[in-house]
């Protein structure tokens, strides 16, 4: 999706029990789940692979308890080699918004008082349409499954 990016604010919808709420968060999973992030280091996990999300310690609790929908109208994927990548905007043919699967975490900076909501987009192997651009893609949730 956007490898190497910094945490970005975005809106998301999430469910706790049977209640749907809207809110915003930062596009990076909780630094608490990734101590190597510390003061400026490490790869920042903005995506979580569907194949391993349920078993990896950094994602499994959020996957069990805090799944969400991330409403978008398109996403970007890059094709090419390092130093000469071409961005591609990917969206629905109709131009209508759609939702990606994501997970949420809440994080409080040590010594701080404010909570930060963070999220990661769930990715899967690219489908036939995307495979010519990238080997991975976000999990797109069809509208019929929004209330699951």
Instruction: Read off the pLDDT of residues 41-58 as tens digits, 9 standing for 90 and up.
Output: 555 678 999 999 999 988
The residues, ordered by sequence, that sit 6+ positions from 110 with a Cβ below 8 Å of its Cβ are none
DSSP E strands, the chain:
9-16, 19-27, 47-49, 67-72, 75-81, 84-90, 98-108, 115-125, 136-138, 140-141
Residues linked to residue 56 through DSSP beta bridges, in sequence order: none
Span 9-145 CATH architecture: Alpha-Beta Complex (3.90)
Sequence ranges of the domains in the chain:
9-145
* Placement of tokens 């404010």 in the chain: 114
Enter the pTM of the model. 0.78
Write the pLDDT tens digit of every residue in 71-97: 889 999 989 877 889 999 999 999 999
Largest interatomic CA distance in the chain:
48
């Amino acid at each position: 999706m956007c490898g190497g990016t910094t945490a970005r604010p975005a809106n998301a919808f999430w469910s706790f029990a049977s209640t749907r709420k809207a809110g915003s968060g930062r596009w990076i999973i909780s630094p608490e789940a990734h101590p190597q992030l510390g003061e400026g280091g490490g790869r920042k996990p903005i995506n979580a692979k569907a194949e391993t999300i349920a078993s990896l310690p950094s994602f499994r609790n959020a996957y069990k308890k805090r799944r969400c929908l991330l409403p978008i109208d398109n996403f970007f994927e890059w094709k090419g080699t390092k130093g000469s990548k071409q961005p591609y905007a990917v969206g629905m043919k109709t131009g209508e918004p759609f939702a990606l699967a994501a997970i949420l975490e809440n994080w409080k900076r040590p010594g701080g008082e404010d909570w930060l909501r963070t999220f990661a987009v769930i990715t899967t192997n690219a489908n036939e349409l995307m495979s010519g651009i990238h080997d991975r893609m976000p999990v797109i949730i069809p509208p019929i499954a929004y209330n699951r």
